[in-house]
Amino acid sequence: MKICVMTLGCKVNKYESDALIYNLRLQGYDATDKLGVADIFVINTCAVTKEAEKKSRQMIARCRKFNPKAKIFVCGCASQHNKEQFVEKGVDFVSGVAGKIKIASHLASHSKRLWALPKEYEDDMIAEPSRMRAYIKIQDGCNNFCSYCIIPYLRGRSRSRPIISILNEVALLPEDIKEIVLTGINVTDYKIDGTPALLTLLEQLDPFGKRLRLSSMEESLVSEEFVAGVHKLKNFCPHFHLSLQSGSASVLKRMNRKYTPEEFLQSVQRIRKYFPLAGITTDVIVGFPGETDDEFEETVAFIKKVKFSSLHIFQYSERTGTVASKTMKDLPASIKQKRFERLEEVKKQLQLEFFKKVKSAHVLVEEKEGDYFVGYSENYIKCYISSKEDLIGKILPVKIGKPYGEGVYAKIGG
């Protein structure tokens, strides 16, 4: 039986889908993440924006084009948010965020119920890694309740994976896995016995000899102790994706973000004290309800002041059930689009400035795109390398060259 597992949204979703595929293969099923003809389709949905939820619904039609008679199973954040939008499309099975791995045992089921969100970390998933990189989920849920975000209501409260479970998964990774990316809904909140412990986890992972990278994190993580601690590690990649969302103090307050621009800048300065060439990327929401022209200009000025290496820019998307949706008036789409385009230009300039600063790096080569081998440096610059030799899977010293594509040309050599 052929089963196709399709994933929308974040790297946590991807990890959970990969774990489901691995579990299905262990049971003898032909499971894949490549969309094609299949007997069963599993759609792991996303609800972080209206557009993500729309794409989750559209995936049903895409799957049916390959096999109109196939069973369709739906799980994830969008079905947790509103399962009826999938039930009315005639799918065979609907669950939510909890118990995704259980789907492997319910292939003959026609259930349309959501399992209760767990209070403890669901430690029943291990994903089969890709050839060079392994995403390791260490945490789930979120306690922040930002006024624009629906995820805490869908994923539940923050809960951390036992450290022994993480270490055991890493110990079983094949030797050709060169990099580990720690992921979760809020990795900043990783705890051991209720105590913040992300640095402790990284210290225990460092001896495995694989590059260590963190996914998105909060400004509150960046204490002097934390940055000094990771600076001592041999394998830590100096790429910090710090979620900003806005550079305006008044907008941050309405967002229920628990820091000021000044505090955020201090965290960035701490990072650069120890890692002068760190890649510091961020998320920014444009067009948050009530955002004035002056507040937007504050954000633009602050972004330029911080000198991020890159930006992930999002237009505000109202999510039913959040504080913002209940109490704040949305802005016109035209204003959001203009501000998005303005920040896209700022992003391009900041990227070019960062590329000029970095003279050399070490790149994990992951794939080939056209005539070039492609991979990322430790500070997350996408590098394009020309070579007649197969470089995939190697970590190579390179000299950074001129901008190209989504990154830079790079030449092998220290």
- Please report, in angstroms and rounded to a whole number, the separation of the first and last CA atoms in the chain: 50
For residue 194, the SS3 value is coil
For residue 116, the SS3 value is coil
Per residue in 154-183, pLDDT (tens digit) is 999 999 999 999 999 999 999 999 999 999
Q: Would you list the domain boundaries of the chain?
A: 2-105, 133-357, 360-412
DSSP 321-358: TSHHHHH-PPPPHHHHHHHHHHHHHHHHHHHHHHHHH-
The closest of 338, 279, 291, 312 to 48, measured between CA atoms, is 312
Sign of CA dihedral 308, 312, 318, 319: negative
pLDDT computed for residue 353 by the predictor: 98
Place of tokens 């056209």: 370
CATH code that applies to domain 2-105: 3.40.50.2300
Per residue in 4-60, pLDDT (tens digit) is 999 999 999 999 999 999 999 999 999 999 999 999 999 999 999 999 999 999 999
Place of tokens 């809904």: 185
Strands (E), 145-218: 159-160, 179-184, 191-192, 195-196, 211-214
For residue 388, the SS3 value is coil
- Domain 133-357 = CATH 3.80.30.20: yes
Per residue in 179-220, pLDDT (tens digit) is 999 999 999 999 999 999 999 999 999 999 999 999 999 999
d(CA 34, CA 12): 18
List phi, psi (to 5°) of 289: -50, 130
The predicted model scores a pTM of 0.95
Which of left, alpha, beta for 194 (phi over 0: left; psi -120 to 50: alpha)? left
Superfamily of domain 360-412: Nucleic acid-binding proteins (2.40.50.140)
